Amino acid sequence: MSTRTLPSATPHLDDPEVTADVLVGEIERYLAARVRTAHPLVTKTTAELVAEALGELAASPAPVAAPAPQLRPPAAILRHLPDWCLSLPVVRAWHGGGRYITAAESLELTALVIEAFGWARGSQRDHQGGRCIFGAQYALHRLGYGDVHTMRLATGYLQNTLGTEAGSYQVWNSHPGRTREQVLALVRAAAANARRDCQ
C-alpha cells in the first residue's frame, strides 16, 4: 500500500516561483473573506477613539466636590427599641440607612451613638439602651449605615489604635475601671487615624 501526498493549497515560501503578486493575492482573498467585527458606522480606529475620550476628559472641568454631609447620630428614642426593629425598612429610611459612609465616619457616628444612647460596660446593650463600642457599631449596621466591610475596617482601626497589648477592644471596653471618656477618646482617636488614611 502506497501513500500519496496531496499538493499544498498554498505555495511554499521557499519555492522560487512565489512572487509578491501571489502573496498580495492571498492577502486580498483573506481580507475579503473576513467578517466585519465593528459596526459599519465605526470608522475610527481604537487608538483614535481612546485618544478622543482622553481628550474629552482632559478638557472637562474638574468636578466640584459637594460638602460632606453633617453626621447626626440616630435618634435617642431608638435606644428603647429592640435591636431587630432597627433593621425595619421604615426605621432605616427615617434614620439615613443604606447610605455609604467611610470607616472614619462610622467611628465618628459610633462615638455619637455612645453619647446619645449612653455607654454600657459588660454587655452590648444595657437595660436603659446604653451601648458598648461594639453595640454602637452594631446599631449603626442594623440601621444601614455602611456595610460589613465598613464595620470591619472601622473595627481594625479601633484595634490598631488600642494596640495588641490591651487585647480585644470589646474586652477593653468591659474592664471594671473603664470610663465613658476613655471609650470616647479611643473611638475618636481611631476615627482620626482612619481619616488620616483616607478611610
User: Pick the residue with more confidence: 137 or 92?
Assistant: 137
Q: What is the pTM of this model?
A: 0.58
Q: Within this chain, do residues 46 and 126 fall inside the same structural domain, yes or no?
A: no
Q: Within this chain, do residues 139 and 53 fall inside the same structural domain, yes or no?
A: no
For 39, the domain range is 20-59
> Residue 13 domain-assigned?
no
Q: Within this chain, do residues 106 and 166 fall inside the same structural domain, yes or no?
A: yes
Q: Within this chain, do residues 37 and 82 fall inside the same structural domain, yes or no?
A: no
> Residue 7 domain-assigned?
no
Number of Cβ atoms within 10 Å of the Cβ of 100 = 9
Q: Within this chain, do residues 129 and 45 fall inside the same structural domain, yes or no?
A: no
pLDDT one-digit tens code per residue, 1-55: 555 555 555 555 555 555 677 777 777 787 777 666 666 666 777 778 778 877 7
> Residue 41 domain-assigned?
yes
- Count of domains for the chain: 2
Q: What is the DSSP letter of 5?
A: P
> Mean pLDDT across the chain, nearest whole number?
77
Q: What is the pLDDT of residue 169?
A: 86
Q: Within this chain, do residues 116 and 192 fall inside the same structural domain, yes or no?
A: yes
Q: What is the H or E stretch that residue 147 is in?
A: none
> Residue 32 domain-assigned?
yes
Instruction: Give the amino acid at 54.
Output: L
Spatial distance between the Cα atoms of 66 and 80, rounded to a whole number of angstroms = 35
